[in-house]
Chain A
């Protein structure tokens, strides 16, 4: 069974540019989460999809971030325009249908974003 995949693995962009990160969850997982780790600090929750619907987006830092999950399969996270403080590692995770709080979330390898 393939795990959670993320693309790209690394992205280097200049301040003001746009970047789109992609996450493909484990097949059949309705729950998809985005997290990020900034500057070696703790990993912070960004948002949670159940299928194509946003269940919780309370962790999104501001309106420069837009997440979508059209069709309830893969998800994209767009940052527009990127700022220096957006640099960090963006993780995606998925969990099985039902999304109980006891479910294990399976994480992708992350996308390392560097904004210059």
Chain B
């Protein structure tokens, strides 16, 4: 069965420091991987996705993520955190074998707090 793990419920980082939000996945086939962010009282906003090609994917707001097939990971990173990055981050995967990859399987979310 496909699954997504985000091992940290909470990540705290000082403003200006690099940040990493971890994600590991388990699917039977090739994964399509996504990161979404939810700011307070807002819907989920798309950050970036990995479909194929370069393992390093760049997305919105200066975020990037690296696909690592051997470690089945897709960690979200940013070189210099901003206080405004504080939000709830969700990693999601699609498995092409389930409904042709239409549905997301989400991780439980990681709350990022960037301290001034």
Contacts and interface: CB of A to CB of B under 8 A. Distances in A.
Interface of A: 3-4, 6, 31, 33, 35, 40-45, 48, 55-56, 58-59, 91, 93, 99-102, 104-110
Contact of B103 (A48, A91, A102, A110): A48
Contact of A59 (B51, B92, B100, B103): B103
A77 B108 CA distance: 23
A48 B99 contact: yes
Given A42-B107, A102-B32, A104-B49, A110 B102 contact: no
B39 to A, nearest CB: 10
B99 A107 contact: no
B46 A101 contact: no
A91 B43 contact: yes
Interface residues of B, number: 27
Given A43-B90, A56-B102, A101-B32, A109 B41 contact: yes
Interface in B70-105: 90, 92, 94, 96, 99-105
A111 to B, nearest CB: 11
